[in-house]
Amino acid sequence: MTKIDNKDFLWYSLYSFAGFGLEILLMMIENIFVKEQTTFTACIHWTLTIILWGTISFILYKNSKKKLKFDLINNDNVSKRKLLLAIILIIVYLITKYFVIGGIKPINEFKELGIIKFIFQYMYYFFETILIILTISFGQRFFEAISKNKIIPYGGLVLAFTWGLMHILTQSMATGIFAFASAIIYGIVYLLLNKNTKCSYLSILFMFIL
């Protein structure tokens, strides 16, 4: 039986983060052929990104289950106390977000994008959240294995220092700092929800899109 190297979990977390980078590569290719940004080209971009992210997510899920014996689909029960703490944290986060971005995100984006682009943008968010969950899950598994500590949001910290910092490079400093802090909070919610995949995905998606 092949021995599983714990470092592989860190690599899989970084592979998940690299999945975000596929969009940058796609944009570089698009810039060669697309001279004018329109609703059509924006929707094509989001569609292609969704395909890339969906594909890499599926590959990482199947390979981790087969090679690392790590099933990402966790349905463990969540205690009422931790569920309550998660709900309180989510509410505090959303109130803070409201003041940081100056309103409710979907309302602001609907006004800016219009109905068609809004729909494609939010489909894109659904798949971005999958990569967020993968990065957190693999990162948490790796650091728990080497530290034996299961209360620190390692997965959120990995997401913060990858996906979070990437926002500083690709967007503004303020956006990057908020994304960095958000990543850590996502990691905390993931732990509070006992790593339950469905609950964690829906909660993080809710925080992300709202």
- Is pLDDT at 136 greater than 60 in this prediction? yes
Domain locations in the chain?
Answer: 7-209
| pLDDT value of residue 2 | 57
Q: Provide, rounded to the nearest whole percent, the portion of the chain with pLDDT above 90.
A: 75
Whole-angstrom CA distances from 155 to 12, 19, 43, 122, 148 are 12, 16, 31, 24, 14
Residue 69 has pLDDT above 80, yes or no: yes
pLDDT band per the 50, 70, 90 thresholds, residue 207: very high
3-class secondary structure, 69: coil
For residue range 74-95, what is the model confidence (pLDDT) as tens digits? 888 889 999 999 999 999 999 9
The answer for residues whose C-beta is within 8 angstroms of residue 3's C-beta and 6 or more apart is none
- Residue 88 dihedral angles phi and psi, to the nearest 5°: -60, -45
Per residue in 146-171, pLDDT (tens digit) is: 988 889 999 999 999 999 988 888 78
Across 165-185, average pLDDT: 89
Residue 113: pLDDT band (50, 70, 90) is: very high
Gap between the Cα atoms of 199 and 76, Å rounded: 10
Alpha helices, DSSP H, located in 68-161: 80-101, 105-113, 115-147, 154-159
